Amino acid sequence: MSEQTASGASGADFDLTQFYDVFFEEAAENLATMETLLLELDVAAPEDEQLNAIFRCAHSIKGGAATFGFQDVADLTHVMETLLDRLRRHELGLTAGMVDVLLESGDSLKGLLDRHRGVSDEVLDASELVARIRSHSQGVSVGAPVTAPLAPAAVAAVAAPGPDGGPAQRLLDIVIGPLDQPGIADQLAELFAEIPGLGTITASDDGQADAQGLRRFRALTSAADADLLDLFTFHVARELVSIAPVAAPADDAGFGLFADADGIPASAATAQPDGMAHADGAVTEAKPAAAAPRAERAEKAAPVEASTLRVSVEKVDQLINLVGELVITQAMLAQNGRDLDPVAHQQLMGNLVDLERNTRLLQESVMAIRMIPMAVVFNRFPRMLRDLAAKLGKQVELHTIGEATELDKGMIEKITDPLTHLVRNSLDHGIESPQVRADTGKPVCGSITLSAQHKGSSIAIEVRDDGKGLSRQRILTKAREKGMDVHDGMTDHEVFQLIFEPGFSTADQVTEVSGRGVGMDVVRRNILSLGGTVELDSAEGYGTTVTVRLPLTLAIMDGMSVAVGDETYILPLASVIESIKLDHGRIRSIAGANRVIEVRQDFLPVVALDEVFQVPRFEEASRAGIMIVVEAEGARVALLVDELLGQHQVVVKNLEANYRKVPGVSGATILGDGRVALILDVGHMVRRARH
């Protein structure tokens, strides 16, 4: 039968490569889930459900790898499966070493899969790892596995030596179902019979399914339950197979093992063992009536429609671009509609209002497709902190808040590296050693908290630790050693900002973790390139908090449009603090060139946009009538404009890709009248005012 199946597939020349991407995605998800579960395991008292879930992840990867011919992946997951199977059956006790080797196996699997995907050329040899896993699998059992008490006849069958003095054979009742197609069970029996040395099998139900769609077989075999389950899952789901040793009354010890169904005593055919080995490896107490639990199992096994759909990112991006063009077209129609008589064109005006509402809803729905929960980023840190803490000899707990907070996929990919550096810094520079923490009255185990929450049209991400905090004097000393222009009158905020300068580090010595001063400046530069801000707050002896604020998406933003001469500019609404009617008498000059204006006893640098962008003036009377206070990088400036036009959502277009890079401009958008408006880089304006 197996030869026919193989030849049939070959004859059809079926191309499995078309399913590679789906397999690699699912394998990555299973590896991530497995790593999370391994890190959550309580070594002293692991939960059965966690062990079963880890086993299922490894089994899914093994099945897919075997199907696609990735033998190295299948071999590694097979030995992992063996160890996990013994753990979930309580034949072995879990140890920290087992968790370590399973985590290391996950890393190796990622490398092997990357090589098969073509994204890595590194050749990995997992033979040493396989040997270590096998040694763990062959460890001394902490307790005998729980089995059902057997009747004398069953004991005799179990104790019977196998062919040629091999392993002892067991007499098993095998129940398969409920099945929509009962004939599949016969295919399983044929598959069983075709494997040499596996044993013998016969139907004990006249080849007919019962009212619940169940098929029953009796087998004499020396194979382990796990191997039989692996065999049967070629045709049916694992949870549809139940295997139990035969429990026959003592006075029926002499009945033929494989007699016809009529020849099997009713007591043996209907007896339920005290314990039954299920697909998840757990041994459960048998119920007086088997119909109820099997009916529940049938409900769980019933096919359900998929609730998710895998779509390539390119298709989503194309859809977002098209919706962006639709938003621009709708704005143009709305602009043209303002010139029409609302009474004469009442129906058209109503349709335009409906179009605007539906376009906005469509835009929000499409943008939501690209939104991904922050848990995708947060989930990578437990493993990283575990390994790094062991290397540094520290103890730390990670707490996460707001994992369900969503951020655009493009932003997620770009913010991962900066957050990784911040978390590593918290452990390396912030969290003290256990001895130091104990001496200062702190808990021996440090704490790092990651939180994310929406704030208007942006997201705020915090990395907070309860470590030693930043030393103001130490930072000033290091800054003077590097020749920086600092003084004791600087505020704490100004002092703390020094650690973002290139090449600045407070570490006494360079290690493989940190100390080269090439981290925090890159973190800030990357965050600023995303239109975000980063702020740092610390209290010596109590800890440090780094707050990163980012726009939710780079594709569409809330903006305020302003007029300067005949030009229109867009300011990111998240950066706008307030707008004030300008009184030129309040502007003061400093050193003959720089100008400042006093706002609530605070002097703000003044930036005139018409001077920055050299906007031609035809009517001097229309010059600079409004002052807009904006904030970026922890500082504020006052922008001088002629008029406020309003606020609305704009579709961001990449100016550099379509034209060239323009200083002070982060992008462009198309207005309703078809004109192009530049989106201002507020951070650039702040830096311009500083220097």
Per residue in 579-613, pLDDT (tens digit) is 888 776 777 877 656 788 888 878 888 888 888 88
DSSP run (H or E) holding 216? strand 215-221
Is the per-residue pLDDT at 574 higher than 90? no
Report, at the CATH architecture level, how domain 373-551 is classified.
2-Layer Sandwich (3.30)
Indicate the average pLDDT of the chain. Answer: 76
pLDDT at 93: 86
Q: What is the DSSP code (8-state) at residue 264?
A: S
What is the rounded CA–CA span in Å between residue 623 and residue 582?
11
What is the rounded CA–CA span in Å between residue 410 and residue 38?
29
pLDDT at 437: 92
pLDDT at 122: 77
Per residue in 144-163, pLDDT (tens digit) is 333 333 333 333 333 344 44
Which has more pLDDT, 628 or 69?
628
Class of domain 14-137: mainly alpha
pLDDT at 446: 93
Is the per-residue pLDDT at 1 higher than 70? no
CB 538 within 8 A of CB 637: no
pLDDT at 506: 64
Averaged over 381-410, what is the pLDDT? 88
The closest of 461, 447, 651 to 558, measured between CA atoms, is 651
Which has more pLDDT, 539 or 673?
539
Class of domain 556-690: mainly beta
CATH of 152-283, one of 1.20.1530.20, 3.30.70.100, 3.30.230.10, 2.60.130.10: 3.30.70.100
Per residue in 303-361, pLDDT (tens digit) is 444 466 777 778 888 888 888 888 888 888 888 888 888 888 889 989 998 998 898 88
The domain locations on the chain are: 14-137, 152-283, 313-370, 373-551, 556-690
Peptide bond into 382 cis (omega under 30): no
Which has more pLDDT, 445 or 251?
445
CB-based contacts of 520, cutoff 8 Å, min separation 6: 421, 425, 499, 500, 504
- Regarding pTM above 0.75, the answer is no
What is the rounded CA–CA span in Å between residue 451 and residue 430?
17
pLDDT at 447: 93
